[in-house]
Amino acid sequence: MNRIVERFSELKARREKGLVVYIGAGDPHLDATRDLALALEEAGVDVLELGVPFSDPLADGVVNQLAAQRGLASGTTPRKVLETVAAIRQRSGLPLVLYIYFNLVHRLGMERFIAESAAAGVDGLLILDLPPEESGPYDALMKQHGLCPIYLAAPTTPPERLELIARHGAGFIYYVSREGVTGMQDQVAQNLPEKIAQIRAHTALPIAVGFGISSPEQARIAATHADAVVVGSAIVNQVAAGGSSPDLAQKVAAFTRPLALAIKGGPRPL
């Protein structure tokens, strides 16, 4: 079974909510990415999104754009990200999703990229600028290689498109709780319960809510409505602050652990 599907099945059986975390691959370098993945798993993260650095990350706010710049500056490429995934796989079964722009997939060749991702140990792809209406053979190739194609839903997504997203997606639906780009916000969107209910009317897939969640209290509130909470920019900020510190992974894990506690309501390993 796909690790993402298996993890959400386990969470449902335990009546727990999940924590999905985003970091920029190669920020500040790929050895740190490997160490961060292992530390975040110990801190209670259920799914890790690795942002593959790209020169024009149009869906991202300034925090994640700067992470992409640092990743590019460290020499990170899609193939090197896959090598890092393989290194993580030697020590961890943490579900891994590549957060990526289609240009990078197209450059290598879609079939080849999907096959190499599966071989490295990737569990899903979230291609920011590939809508289900234009996915063509993508979904079939993903299914063939046992990977989850993850799609975004937004506050402005009409019901007929929610149905399309649900039909094409697997693993979970990523609900973008705010219009615009990624980034930290002061509070959870007020219409979250209503929007989550609208998505649930079209799918039994888990729903992970993200874009703007940056504190344990915000995570706790979001988790009362969704199956999982996605935290990105707040974690990336911690990586940026830690820089090349030798205890970077431990510092980021210490920041992340209260988020997991808020969502799951139980003790996490120190």
Burial of 181 (0-12, 13-18, 19+ CB in 10 A): middle
The residue type found at 168 is H
- Which one of 35, 41, 60, 123 is the catalytic residue? 60
Active site residue 49: yes
Residue ranges of E strands in 146-251? 148-149, 152-153, 173-176, 207-210, 228-231
Looking at residue 147, what DSSP letter applies? P
Name the phi and psi angles at 210, rounded to 5: -145, -165
Please say whether the beta carbons of 132 and 151 come within 8 A. yes
In DSSP terms, 19 is beta-bridged to 229
123 in catalytic set: no
**How far is Cα 173 from Cα 104, in angstroms, rounded to an integer?**
22
Catalytic residue among 49, 116, 123, 227: 49
Catalytic residue positions, numbered: 49, 60
